[in-house]
Amino acid sequence: MSQTFNYRHLFYFWVVAKEGGIARAAERLDMAVQTISAQVRELEKSLGVSLLRTEGRNLVLTEAGVAAMHEADHIFALGERLPLRVREAATGQTLRLNLGISDGIAKLAVHRLLTPVLDEPHLRLLCHEGEFQPLLGELALHKLDAVLADRPATPNPALRTTSQLLGTSAIAWYAPTQWAEAAAHQFPHSLAVVPVLLPTEHAAMRARIDHWLERERIRPRIAGEFEDSALLSTFASTGMGVMPAPVSLSAHLLQTHGLVQIGTTPDVQEQFHLIYSARKVMHPLLTRLLEAAAGGALINH
């Protein structure tokens, strides 16, 4: 990198790109337009490329500008967290773990997956639930330490992420009391008779269930589809229908939702993956989770 490279110049360019123009950036920073423009030109000079170009009345990013913007997002996202992280490290009282939880994963399984780190005396656990792809974007920007999901991340050298299977669980079917007897009779073909609640197609488990139903020649009587697994179990508990969930959660679903296990499908499994950015120095709590998974201490049923 050129010795003339200046992070302040990069910051001004980043704000221009974020705001969509030099005038708006100048207004946000309370600086003169000429000053902002000069700072961006200095950055372009130090990098030896043009980062912005005019297109009609608009200012747009060049391909080099898009690349610079992407890296600037990483740099300034880290910079925003640096003061807090330094203060926490100085006091020695907090160990943060910032996790994304894919909305397709069984929420009741999350606590069990995280058990190996929950006894950390100074743990500060931050869980953010969301859709799979946006969470991977947050991970790429280093806003998350890792993502728990029901599938691995698609290999992408630009994102430099690693996916590790933490555990698996066979899928069982659960019914509220009013449907338990009918659902258990001639299971699994009873699923064509009783109302069935399923995860939506965004969940990795849905494709496995659909394939199994097709193989068994069962046309389920679908009464509802839900993106959120917690919402799925809530509606099942009200009597709306029969639902699939990991067999490892059988006791919990009975105790908290009154849902009775009426049958299993061992060849259909829920998978639990930990997705994290490849780094030379790993977060100690992620290392602990990976070691627990390697030792078979997490969900495997």
Same domain (yes/no): 160, 123: yes
| Residue 64, in any domain of the structure | yes
69-115 per-position pLDDT tens digit: 888 887 777 676 666 566 655 666 678 899 999 988 887 788 888 99
Same domain (yes/no): 32, 103: no
Mean pLDDT of 248-272: 92
pLDDT-derived band at 25 (thresholds 50, 70, 90) equals confident
**Per-residue pLDDT at 80:** 66
138-193 per-position pLDDT tens digit: 888 788 999 999 999 987 766 678 899 998 999 999 999 999 999 999 999 999 99
pLDDT at 4 > cutoff 60: no
| Residue 28, in any domain of the structure | yes
- CATH number, domain with residue 12: 1.10.10.10
| Residue 101, in any domain of the structure | yes
Same domain (yes/no): 258, 223: yes
| Residue 57, in any domain of the structure | yes
Task: Considering only residues 199 and 2, tell me which one the structure prediction assigns the higher pLDDT.
Answer: 199
Q: Which of 205, 211, 248 is nearest to 225 (CA)?
A: 205
Torsional class of 92: left (φ above 0), alpha (ψ -120 to 50), beta (otherwise): left
Q: 176: Cβ–Cβ under 8 A, 6 or more apart, which residues?
A: 236, 237, 238, 239, 240, 242, 258, 259, 260
pLDDT-derived band at 209 (thresholds 50, 70, 90) equals very high
**Per-residue pLDDT at 90:** 61
**Per-residue pLDDT at 67:** 86
Give the chain's mean pLDDT.
Answer: 86
| Residue 107, in any domain of the structure | yes
**Per-residue pLDDT at 219:** 96
**Per-residue pLDDT at 108:** 79
**Per-residue pLDDT at 2:** 45
Torsional class of 223: left (φ above 0), alpha (ψ -120 to 50), beta (otherwise): alpha
Same domain (yes/no): 157, 278: yes
Collapse the DSSP code of 222 into the 3-class scheme (helix H, G, I; strand E, B; otherwise coil) and give the result. strand
Same domain (yes/no): 290, 146: yes
Strand residues in 131-160 grouped as ranges (E): 146-149
| Residue 74, in any domain of the structure | yes
Q: Report whether 265 contacts 210 (CB < 8 A).
A: no
pTM of the complete model? 0.66
| Residue 208, in any domain of the structure | yes
Same domain (yes/no): 66, 191: no
Same domain (yes/no): 163, 185: no
Same domain (yes/no): 219, 151: no
10-22 per-position pLDDT tens digit: 888 888 888 888 8
Residue where a domain terminates, one of 51, 78, 105: 78
Same domain (yes/no): 238, 287: no
Task: Count the domains in the chain.
Answer: 3
Tokens of 119: 């006894």
Q: Report whether 97 contacts 124 (CB < 8 A).
A: yes
Task: Considering only residues 221 and 7, tell me which one the structure prediction assigns the higher pLDDT.
Answer: 221
- Parent domain of 222: 169-269
How would DSSP label each residue in 45-104?
A: HHHTS--EEEETTEEEE-HHHHHHHHHHHHHHHHHHHHHHHHHHHHHT--EEEEEEEETT
pLDDT at 3 > cutoff 60: no
Same domain (yes/no): 176, 255: yes
- CATH number, domain with residue 210: 3.40.190.10
Same domain (yes/no): 209, 239: yes
Mean pLDDT of 21-31: 86
**Per-residue pLDDT at 299:** 61
DSSP, res 280: S
**Per-residue pLDDT at 5:** 66
Distance CA 118, CA 217 (A): 43
| Residue 1, in any domain of the structure | no
109-132 per-position pLDDT tens digit: 888 889 999 988 888 899 999 889
pLDDT at 280 > cutoff 70: no
pLDDT at 278 > cutoff 50: yes
Give the DSSP H/E element, type plus range, for residue 223.
strand 221-226
Same domain (yes/no): 38, 13: yes
